[in-house]
């Protein structure tokens, strides 16, 4: 085990810092799958990539060196750089997922209870529920309205923004709670987001407020940071579907209508995600690590994207595939189980070699893939959960997992020895630091990725990625050295 920080030259350290600053900026800008896709498309277009829809409409053929991207429902993205060899000879594919564990807002969420307003929620992916209480949270997402407009929502990231919280029971009254199992300390139904406490009729600076009260008892506010001159009309509308006593809920609805033009019914067609508020930060006195939400798996997604945008010329077609829904089984139209990737490859074959189902099958079967997902970094505070000889360590480079799954390799993809030997040579030739690992003790842990799904096409696939601490927690930790080596390793793979 060798700490690779000691091996870097001054120039390499400068590049390492540049890559990690870029990576932190991407983490801040991409806290949801939609935000990640929008950010990646913007970066790709700046690098000369074109939308496949534009190319198909123009009828232009594709040539070596052309750069194309395809988007599925604004949550899944595939980038392609056409190589010198025909597409049917296969591609080098970097695949990662851009969804992360979080808490989602339900479709009928807003309610008032004993003077407090809440949003009802449903957690997404594998989380320790107790980690999400009593800390500042932000609200990200979109509201799609019946008139076809889609409004972006982002509250809690600016210094001037309010933040939200999920409350916890004070320790003085928590004797019974503390006796519960960790999985039961916080119930899923108690992960509701606290969003308001001010009644619609409350006006602090106007003595004439009483005279402005309407028949419902609500005052017509004229001043105040949370109100505007026309809120009174909105309040009347907002209360129409509320109980007469739900004045705090009515105020929340008035504020949402003022800022987003949103009615209560619009929650039904909204996708709102609750994530930790705040930016990615350097971690440690030596600034050697990064602390941030969403590094599983955006540490692999963004490093794959960086490598894809960096590599210009290669014999084989290169691909960077960023997918949704991995944390809940890769299901749905934007998950890896969907036909989006296969259909896109079929379009590319048609544009380069002519329509041929057989050539599409060959293109997929002849491809090689790094299923880039995070691995668990060895944590000496919890050494009993790891088998040290088969663990990934910070500052030891990119991590390869020959097989994933759990216990008796259930749900596993198991990479061929010949493929691993080819990768070892490519990494060594490019001076990339790498390590091999498993996720925890044999009978204790394990995990799934998208590798087994792509292996169904008959292509060579292995799991690779960056080791992190606190995986699936609101804040995860990565090593800057490993982020740097991941970019180097993904570049080497695309050129392989």
Rounded average pLDDT over 266-272: 97
- Asked whether the CA dihedral 121, 127, 129, 133 is positive or negative, the reply is negative
- Yes or no: say if 365 and 488 are a contact pair by the CB < 8 Å rule: no
Q: Residue 314: pLDDT band by 50, 70, 90 thresholds?
A: confident
DSSP string computed for 225-245: TT--TTHHHHHHHHGGGS-TT
117 and 57 together in one domain: no
Evaluate whether residue 286 is within a structural domain. Answer: no
User: Other C-beta atoms within 10 Å of 46: how many?
Assistant: 9
Evaluate whether residue 431 is within a structural domain. Answer: yes
Report whether pLDDT(362) > 70.
yes
Q: Quote the pLDDT of residue 120.
A: 98
Distance CA 306, CA 486 (A): 10
Q: Quote the pLDDT of residue 228.
A: 38
Rounded average pLDDT over 160-189: 96
Q: Quote the pLDDT of residue 440.
A: 73
114 and 254 together in one domain: yes
Evaluate whether residue 386 is within a structural domain. Answer: yes
111 and 131 together in one domain: yes
Q: Quote the pLDDT of residue 233.
A: 46
pLDDT digits over 475-488, tens only? 999 999 999 999 99
Alpha helices in 353-388 (DSSP H): 357-365
pTM over 0.75: yes
Q: What is the mean pLDDT of the chain?
A: 90
pLDDT digits over 190-205, tens only? 999 999 999 987 544 4
Do strands 102-113 and 270-276 pair parallel, antiparallel, or not at all (unpaired)?
antiparallel
Report whether pLDDT(62) > 50.
yes
265 and 400 together in one domain: no
What pairs with residue 153 in β-bridges?
A: 141
Query: What CATH number has the domain bearing residue 195?
Result: 2.30.250.10
Range of the domain at 160: 102-276
Rounded average pLDDT over 237-244: 51
Distance CA 58, CA 75 (A): 25
222 and 299 together in one domain: no
Distance CA 56, CA 352 (A): 12
Do strands 50-51 and 67-72 pair parallel, antiparallel, or not at all (unpaired)?
parallel
Report whether pLDDT(104) > 90.
yes
Q: Which residues contact 380 (CB under 8 A, 6 or more apart)?
A: none
Query: What CATH number has the domain bearing residue 70?
Result: 3.40.630.10
Report whether pLDDT(86) > 60.
yes
Domain count, the chain: 2
Phi/psi-derived region of residue 217, left when phi > 0, alpha when psi is between -120 and 50, beta in every other case? left
125 and 244 together in one domain: yes
Report whether pLDDT(442) > 80.
no
Q: Residue 415: pLDDT band by 50, 70, 90 thresholds?
A: confident
> How far is residue 433 from each of residues 4, 395, 425, measured CA to CA in Å?
8, 9, 12
208 and 95 together in one domain: no
Q: Residue 243: pLDDT band by 50, 70, 90 thresholds?
A: low
113 and 39 together in one domain: no
31 and 42 together in one domain: yes
246 and 392 together in one domain: no
């Amino acid at each position: 085990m060798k700490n690779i920080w000691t091996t870097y030259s001054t120039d390499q350290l400068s590049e390492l810092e540049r890559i990690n600053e870029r990576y932190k900026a991407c983490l801040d800008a991409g806290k949801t799958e939609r935000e990640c896709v929008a950010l990646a498309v913007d970066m790709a277009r700046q690098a000369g990539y074109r939308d496949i829809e534009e190319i198909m409409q123009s009828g232009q053929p594709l040539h070596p060196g052309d750069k194309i991207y395809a988007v599925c429902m604004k949550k899944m993205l595939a980038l392609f750089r056409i190589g010198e060899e025909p597409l049917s000879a296969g591609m080098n594919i970097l695949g990662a997922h851009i969804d992360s564990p979080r808490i989602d807002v339900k479709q009928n969420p807003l309610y008032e209870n004993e003077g407090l307003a809440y949003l009802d929620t449903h957690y997404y992916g594998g989380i320790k529920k107790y980690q999400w209480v009593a800390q500042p949270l932000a609200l990200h997402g979109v509201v799609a309205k019946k008139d076809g407009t889609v409004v972006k929502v982002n509250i809690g990231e600016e210094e001037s923004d309010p933040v939200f919280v999920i409350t916890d029971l004070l320790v003085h009254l928590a004797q019974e709670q503390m006796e519960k199992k960790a999985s039961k300390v916080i119930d899923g139904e108690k992960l509701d987001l606290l969003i308001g406490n001010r009644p619609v009729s409350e006006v602090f600076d106007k003595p004439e407020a009483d005279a402005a009260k309407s028949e419902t008892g609500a005052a017509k506010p004229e001043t105040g940071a949370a109100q505007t001159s026309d809120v009174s009309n909105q309040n009347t509308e907002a209360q129409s579907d509320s109980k007469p006593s739900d004045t705090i809920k009515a105020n929340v609805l008035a504020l949402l209508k003022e800022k987003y033009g949103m009615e209560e019914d619009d929650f039904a067609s909204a996708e709102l995600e609750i994530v930790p508020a705040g930016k990615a930060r350097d971690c440690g006195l030596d600034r050697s690590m990064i602390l941030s939400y969403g590094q599983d798996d955006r540490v692999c997604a963004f490093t794959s994207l960086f490598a894809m945008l960096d590599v210009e010329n290669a014999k084989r077609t290169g691909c960077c595939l960023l997918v949704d829904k991995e944390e809940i089984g890769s299901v749905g139209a934007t998950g890896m189980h969907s036909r989006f990737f296969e259909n896109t490859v079929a379009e590319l074959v048609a544009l380069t070699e002519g329509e041929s189902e057989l050539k599409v099958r060959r293109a997929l079967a002849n491809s090689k893939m790094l299923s880039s997902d995070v691995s668990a970094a060895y944590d000496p505070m919890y050494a009993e959960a790891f088998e040290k000889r088969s663990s990934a360590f910070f500052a030891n480079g990119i991590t390869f997992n020959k097989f994933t799954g759990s216990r008796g390799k259930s749900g596993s993809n198991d990479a061929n020895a010949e493929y691993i030997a080819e990768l070892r040579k490519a990494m060594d030739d490019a001076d990339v630091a790498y390590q091999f690992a498993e996720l925890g003790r044999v009978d204790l842990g394990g995990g799934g990725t998208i590798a087994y799904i792509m292996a169904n096409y008959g292509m060579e696939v292995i799991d690779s990625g960056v080791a992190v601490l606190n995986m699936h927690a609101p804040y995860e930790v990565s090593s800057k050295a490993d982020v740097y080596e991941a970019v180097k390793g993904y570049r080497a793979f695309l050129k392989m």
